[in-house]
Amino acid sequence: MAVKTILPFGPQHPVLPEPIQLRITLEDENIGQVLPALGYVHRGIEKAGENNDYPLNVFLVERICGICSATHGLAYCLAVERLLGIEPPPRANYLRVVWAELHRLHSHLLWWGLLADAFGFESLFMQIWRVREMVMDVLEKTAGNRVIISVNAIGGVRRDLSEEQISEMLHTLEECEKQLYALLPVMLNDYTVKKRTAGKGVLTSEQALRLGVVGPTLRASGVAQDLRMTGYAAYGELGFEPIVEQGGDCYARAVVRARECFQTIELVRRALQQLPDGDILTKPRGNPNGKAIVRVEAPRGELMYFVVGNGTKNLERMRVRTPTLANVPALLEMLPGAEFADIPVITLSIDPCISCTER
């Protein structure tokens, strides 16, 4: 007869730098029921968004998550711009794509490093994070900070790129791409990587849609959904096509993110080549009134802002649905039936961000 054990996975665990707990019922070495426990560091950011003046919220939402701070700022600005009836200048739209894609690139590389670390492949972890440092350096040189770069403003962007900065960015991305190509055979074909990810945590396309899964996790289950296809900011002019894999397992999720790193570099390149001249900011006037919903594609998937203005400088409501909130329920179907040793890799495969979850 199988021995039942309740295993508290987290809130402090080597593969989870942030606090979430999965209460896992083990039957011998196999996983039975899984229940998530959230709320260890809930910050009440939606409530704080009602108390700030609406332009200040840009800085607040950027702190929901450091790794996708540019995407949070972008989504919030798009929503408020819709309420104010203003359009950012074309150059600002392209610059928004550049910084949002650089954030996606460093986020995916961060995840790849953490994945390699989770199954003990430390040299791959360090090689990937060395490439990531190049992206962080570019962010620091162009936006003044490594992580929370605060480039978005209501009506456009705060910073422009000079010709020298564009040239340096293109050069760094070329080097980054070269080094990633060199690592790619290991990332996709190495025995250790495949052994620990292939066939683990399988999610079919039907399951993924039913469970509300988003982002690379959804696309790895064969569903071609990426909010960038809707063409917000300048994505409509860059010939974007989503990257889709059919496997639905941890390996397919890793492949989607690896391919998206190269796609991201290409999108930045195109955006810089097509960068129009002109202003970078349309000055906002008045106070937001009405309701607006904006969805953008954050590195981990669909990010939704529902903003309600009441004609004053404060918002009536700021609702934020982050991608990890959508992907956590899938763990409750992916983990049962798997082996104990696969818990870290399967959990990491959704790229859980607890900062996002605990808004």
Chain residues binding another protein by CB under 8 A are 35, 38-39, 42, 44, 46-47, 209-213, 225, 227, 229-230, 290-293, 295, 302, 304, 306, 308, 316-317, 319, 321, 325-326, 328-330, 332, 358
62/332 Cα distance (integer angstroms): 29
- Rounded to a whole number of angstroms, the minimum distance from the CB of residue 179 to another protein is 34
- Rounded to a whole number of angstroms, the minimum distance from the CB of residue 287 to another protein is 15
248/215 Cα distance (integer angstroms): 13
243/196 Cα distance (integer angstroms): 22
- Rounded to a whole number of angstroms, the minimum distance from the CB of residue 230 to another protein is 6
Nearest to 288 by CA among 154, 88, 90: 154
Phi, psi of 35 (to 5 degrees): -130, 125
What residue spans of the chain are helical by DSSP H?
Answer: 45-51, 57-62, 69-84, 90-118, 122-143, 163-189, 191-197, 205-210, 215-219, 250-273, 323-334, 343-349, 354-357
Compute CA distances 294 → 75, 132, 304, whole Å. 6, 29, 6
Q: Write down the residue that tokens 């000055």 correspond to.
A: 283
Of 109 and 354, CB closest to another protein: 354
Continuous segment of H or E residues that includes residue 289: strand 289-298
Of 179 and 289, CB closest to another protein: 289
Nearest to 355 by CA among 73, 114, 107, 65: 65
- Yes or no: say if 339 and 29 are a contact pair by the CB < 8 Å rule: yes
103/294 Cα distance (integer angstroms): 19
- Rounded to a whole number of angstroms, the minimum distance from the CB of residue 177 to another protein is 29
Of 91 and 219, CB closest to another protein: 219
| Sequence-distant (≥ 6) Cβ neighbours of residue 115 within 8 angstroms | 197, 254, 345, 348, 349
Helix 163-189 and helix 122-143: axis angle, to 10°?
Answer: 170
152/81 Cα distance (integer angstroms): 12
- Rounded to a whole number of angstroms, the minimum distance from the CB of residue 203 to another protein is 12
Of 199 and 329, CB closest to another protein: 329
- Rounded to a whole number of angstroms, the minimum distance from the CB of residue 46 to another protein is 7
Of 63 and 319, CB closest to another protein: 319
- Rounded to a whole number of angstroms, the minimum distance from the CB of residue 309 to another protein is 10
- Rounded to a whole number of angstroms, the minimum distance from the CB of residue 232 to another protein is 12
- Rounded to a whole number of angstroms, the minimum distance from the CB of residue 254 to another protein is 23
164 is written with which tokens? 């020298």
Of 63 and 146, CB closest to another protein: 63
